[in-house]
Amino acid sequence: MRELNIIVTGIGGQGQLFLSRIIGEVFLKNNIPAYIAETHGLSQRGGTVVVHVRVGRDVRSPLIPLGEAHIMISLEIIEASRYIDYLRSNGVALINNKMIPPPGKRYDLDPQKLIDYIRSRVKHVYILNASKTALEYKMPISANIYMIGGLIKLLDRLEILSEELSDVVIRDLLPSKNKDINLLIYESGKNEMNLILTNEDLSELKKIFSR
């Protein structure tokens, strides 16, 4: 692989760094170089966190230039809209269906309007029920694991990474505490991504990602 850029956004405390490190490790285990850099804010609860994940043999810098991310993974809708300029217009946005209004400020924010705005900028937008499903398993912090599942299914169907091999790596990387539940959440993310990714989308995305 020459280059694949993934931008990860969300609010501090949602587990973006853990998510990003797992993505990097999956690529490294497949003998593909991976670089991770955190920017824009601190990984503290309530603050904006953006993580750049760059993989491939042609990558020379850890930071993704504006408009050069192939994939965005966002754990929160406002942050997805805030950093959508990092994503290519023909890229893919995987967004957790959760909105967290900024603390101490009153905004009349409509999540659907934000999603419509994102769709006006990027063609391939997939809204995943990560937080809802993680909460159903009584593991709200594991929405990031759900999003990893969605990403792995996407990469497998695009024939970028093997889902089977990725499953083995992720199973090894997940902490032993609550591992069985987290694996169920991970599988749920894969299943939803598989359901919403149409054959038409897949055909178009394969052409884009093979360039």
Distance CA 91, CA 93 (A): 7
- Write down the pLDDT at residue 7: 97
Residue 190: CATH number of its domain: 3.40.920.10
List all residues 6 or more positions away from 196 whose beta carbon is below 8 Å from its beta carbon: 126, 128
Q: Which of 92, 97, 95, 96 is nearest to 160 (CA)?
A: 92
Q: How far lies 84's CA from each of 89, 115, 143, 165, 200, in Å? A: 9, 11, 20, 30, 23
Residue 157 near residue 206 (C-beta atoms within 8 A): no
What stretches of 40-168 adopt beta strand conformation (E)?
Answer: 48-55, 69-74, 87-96, 124-128
- Sign, CA dihedral 33-54-204-153, equals positive
Q: Identify any residues that bridge with 93 across adjacent strands, giving them in sequence order.
A: 72, 125
Confidence of residue 38 (pLDDT cuts 50, 70, 90): confident
What is the predicted pLDDT for the residue at 1?
A: 81
Classify burial at 163, counting beta carbons within 10 Å of its beta carbon; exposed 0-12, middle 13-18, buried 19 or more: middle
Domain that holds residue 150: 4-209
State mean pLDDT over 10-14. Answer: 86
What pTM was computed for the model?
A: 0.93
Give the number of other Cβ atoms within 10 Å of residue 105's Cβ.
Answer: 6
CB 6 within 8 A of CB 74: no
The pLDDT score that the predictor gives to residue 43 is 45
The pLDDT tens digits of the residues spanning 77-120 come to 999 999 999 999 999 999 999 998 877 666 678 999 999 999 99
Q: Residue 105: what pLDDT?
A: 63
Number of structural domains (the chain) is 1
Those residues with Cβ within 8 angstroms of residue 133's Cβ, 6 or more apart along the chain or in another chain: 143, 146, 185, 188, 189, 192
Local structure of 111: helix, strand or coil: helix
Block residue for tokens 């670089």: 35
The pLDDT score that the predictor gives to residue 211 is 66
The pLDDT of residue 142 is above 50? yes
* Tens of pLDDT, residues 13-26: 888 889 999 999 99
The reported pLDDT for the residue numbered 40 is 59
* Vertex 70 angle, CA 66 and 74, to 5°: 85
pLDDT attached to residue 118: 97
